[in-house]
Amino acid sequence: MRHKVGQRKLHRTTSHRLAMLHNMVTSLLEHEAIRTTLPKAKEARAIAERIITLGKRGGLANVRLAERTVRNRAILQKVFSEYKDRYATRPGGYTRIVRLGFRRGDGAEMALLELVDRPAKAQGTEAAAGEATETKAE
């Protein structure tokens, strides 16, 4: 049985896995949405939610804890200002995973990992194209 087993190993060494997940979380916080495989999205989601919670709490100690994962100073400032205000009343659940089907090359299940309540301009072209067709139909 797999009692109390923490994370997926994703067929990588520890250092490679941590570097990959930290880079994915940084990209998510920068672009507000990333496209990746489903298991990677599920692992990155937990780290991203932790970083946003640290941003909501504020304070120097939490900035230093978040800096372990997000090494980009501009993105850290975004977390501790913009995201802090955006998610102030939300008690958790800052990310959403949308399944996108299977990748053509190897059949891996793909997913879109995105921040909830993101502005309309930051949402992908797929959503904008969908909205454009709906307005023409009316």
Of residues 9, 10, 43, the one with CA closest to residue 28: 43
Cβ atoms 114, 82 nearer than 8 A: no
Q: How crowded is the C-beta side of 117, counted as CA atoms within 13 Å?
A: 12
- Given this model, what pLDDT does residue 135 score? 45
**pLDDT value of residue 49:** 97
CB-side neighbour CA atoms (13 Å) of 27? 14
How far apart (Å, rounded) are the C-alpha atoms in residues 84 and 31? 16
CA distance 44 to 25: 6
The predicted model scores a pTM of 0.83
Q: What is the pLDDT of residue 83?
A: 96
- Residue 110 in contact with residue 37, Cβ under 8 Å? yes
Give per-residue pLDDT as tens, 8-41: 899 999 999 999 999 999 999 999 999 999 999 9
User: What DSSP state is assigned to residue 108?
Assistant: P
Asked whether the beta carbons of 87 and 52 are under 8 A apart, the reply is yes
Please name every residue paired with 98 in a beta bridge, in sequence order, or none if there are none.
Answer: 112
> Could you say which residues of the chain have pLDDT below 50?
128-138
The reported pLDDT for the residue numbered 122 is: 62
Specify whether the CB–CB gap between 68 and 20 falls below 8 A: no
